[in-house]
Amino acid sequence: MVISLSATILLIRYFVLRDQWRILNVEWYGYSIEYPALYDTETYGSMGGRGANLGYLSASINSWGPYVFIHQTGMENPDLLDAFDWWQEIMDNWGLTEISSPIETQIGYDNYPTIRQTYYDGNKSVQAYFVVSNDRSYLLEFYRVSEESQPMVDRMLASFKLLEVGGG
């Protein structure tokens, strides 16, 4: 009975939320992003992330398929290449493989200049996007992106918005 009730609740949740989107506002780190309502989110407080990524991880957006980690750090007047170089130093410690050459592109609400790179973290493929604001550097990592999930990732990237730290 309990299993049947749980399955029914999950099925109803799926049909109600499958085409819905929500906005994750992480004002203390200065960004927001849309995500599918069926996904779970976790944000890490203004004192920094936790685990192996220490103070860099600010949010995660999780699902059974693709998932996202958003990292950030404060930097004084960063330009995109300085931020990219800094993140590369951090990433070198993560044991990544098959790292592509960086490609300049644009993402987000205001077509922010971005560097895109792909790599493998263990056996998981990753699309990484590096963005800067006046005082921060961001790394958006999209794991396990497939051809089927790429439109969802594209929508998330298009919705990324830089905010003033502390709200705005």
At 102-119, the pLDDT tens digits run: 999 999 999 999 999 999
pLDDT score recorded for residue 102: 93
| pLDDT tens-digit map of 31-68 | 999 999 888 898 886 555 444 455 678 899 988 889 99
Q: Among 59, 64, 56, which residue's Cα sits nearest to residue 38?
A: 64
- CA–CA dist 99, 120 (Å, integer): 7
**Residues of the chain with pLDDT > 90: what percent?**
48
* Strands (DSSP E) found in the chain: 21-26, 31-36, 40-43, 57-62, 67-74, 103-107, 112-121, 124-132, 136-143, 161-162
Amino acid at the residue 43? T
